[in-house]
Amino acid sequence: MIIGAGASGLTAAIVLKRRGIDVILLEKNNQVGKKILVTGSGKCNYFNEKFEKEFFTSKNPETLGEMMTDENIEDAKQFLTSIGIVPKIKNGYYYPNSMKAVSIQNSLLTEIKNLNIPIFYNTTVIEMKKEGHFFLKTNQEIIEAEHVIVATGSRAYFDTEEPSLILHSLENMGHTVVPIYPGLVQLEAKGSFFKEWAGIRLDAKISFSNPQIRKDVVGELQLTDYGISGICTLILSNTLVPLLKEKSQTITINFLNSFHISTKEEARRYLENRNQNLPNRSLDQLFDTILDYKLTNLLLKLSDIPLHTRMEDVDAKNLDTFLKNLVSFPLCITGSKSYKNAQICLGGIDIREIDVKTMESKLIKNLYVIGEALDVSGECGGYNLGFAWISGIKAGNGVRSDD
């Protein structure tokens, strides 16, 4: 019995049935893989050439390396090929050649149908217990099962409670649930100037560090009326969101990262050079074509430099602040957007309680947990679906047919 017919559950079902083991999928929706349809903005970035543990966060990351082996990655690629998926690989990011997420959903469903795997649609598992066998209380009936694979994903995006019901049952059965937070999500910040930068998109580096963690992310940054968004924000959110429960956290933004400028001194030299080559220009004019003028004007304002001032006329202290704002702009992050805006959930079943060779629970025999239900969270780039395929294949091969 597999609870959840999403990316990981469908994978496990196909692998099991190909081994000759009968399997049934229980799915609360009236279709399989609904979330797949919204991935990668409808294009589905389903894997990444550079599939390494560095691209994942987990409260207990020690065992992740054991999952991201060359062999497991090869198995995932072979599985995807075996269900007919033809990739288009862009800078290591895998998409279906059709660039349509629906074609990934179709490939999985076609294989499920060809293998005659039954799917009980509109069936929500509300509670699970083990008394010898497993008893799954659904909105329809109580179903008895010898083996159960939990593949219920998370409440991210659709923000429905069903995945949490199963986590709750697993907790009652003795498993640890690492606290759940929205992941790959936009960040809210403190400031009175957001109206002035809202709508600006640029390539930047955003960084966070505390005594335990240092995380730098380079990529597209969107400045919004509540704080920041864009791919690099989403990636940083996986590190930051759990820390926000305690208190606000300050990050820094390097607006000049794409010019390979990372220090105040480098910014000063760059600016002095430009000032020399382009005489008779004010600071804001020197930044024409480098930054969005709205951002330049804001950074000047926050550095107490009047608009249209020339570099040589700027007070030394204010120039210093301006240079700092360019390469290390401090932003106080106070919170994140909600589960509805999140692509994934951080947290889930503690991976230490799972045998990652088979995905079987170390605490409850014949119970398996895969995909996003586990405390394994990937960055943007095909890592979360990648983990769903890999863990689904592991469980599909891990279930023993003899007990």
Ligand X SMILES: Cc1cc2nc3c(=O)[nH]c(=O)nc-3n(C[C@H](O)[C@H](O)[C@H](O)COP(=O)(O)OP(=O)(O)OC[C@H]3O[C@@H](n4cnc5c(N)ncnc54)[C@H](O)[C@@H]3O)c2cc1C
Contact between 282 and ligand X per CB under 6 A: no
Contact 34, 160 (CB under 8 A): no
CB of 24 to ligand X, least distance (A): 12
Report CA-CA distances (Å) from 327 to 188, 262, 343. 21, 6, 29
Residue ranges in 356-385 that form contacts with ligand X under rule CB under 6 A? 371-372, 382-385
Contact between 152 and ligand X per CB under 6 A: yes
Contact 20, 68 (CB under 8 A): no
Contact between 151 and ligand X per CB under 6 A: yes
Applying CB under 6 A, which of residues 79, 157, 287, 389 lies at the interface with ligand X? 157
CA angle 5, 10, 11 (to 5 degrees): 150
Which listed range, 14-22, 33-41, 70-78, 172-180, lies at the site for ligand X (CB under 6 A)? 33-41
> CA-to-CA distance for 164 and 171, rounded, in angstroms?
10
Which listed range, 1-9, 187-195, 207-215, 332-340, lies at the site for ligand X (CB under 6 A)? 1-9
Which listed range, 37-45, 76-84, 209-217, 224-232, lies at the site for ligand X (CB under 6 A)? 37-45
**Which of 9/396 has CB closer to ligand X?**
9
Applying CB under 6 A, which of residues 162, 284, 353, 375 lies at the interface with ligand X? 162
Contact between 183 and ligand X per CB under 6 A: no
Contact between 94 and ligand X per CB under 6 A: no
Contact 368, 400 (CB under 8 A): no
Applying CB under 6 A, which of residues 388, 390, 393, 395 lies at the interface with ligand X? 388
Contact between 89 and ligand X per CB under 6 A: no
Binding mask 40-59 for ligand X (x = CB under 6 A): x---xx--------------
* Residue whose CB is nearest to ligand X in the complex, by number: 6
Contact between 396 and ligand X per CB under 6 A: no
Contact between 296 and ligand X per CB under 6 A: no
Token pair for 199: 């709508």
Crossing angle of helices 316-327 and 293-302, in 10° steps, is: 130
CB of 64 to ligand X, least distance (A): 15
Residue that the structure tokens 């002035």 belong to: 196
Contact between 299 and ligand X per CB under 6 A: no
Applying CB under 6 A, which of residues 1, 4, 167, 347 lies at the interface with ligand X? 4
Contact between 5 and ligand X per CB under 6 A: yes
**Which of 163/347 has CB closer to ligand X?**
163
By the criterion CB under 6 A, which residues form the site for ligand X?
A: 3-9, 26-29, 34-35, 38-40, 44-45, 124-125, 151-153, 156-157, 162-163, 165-166, 343-344, 371-372, 382-386, 388
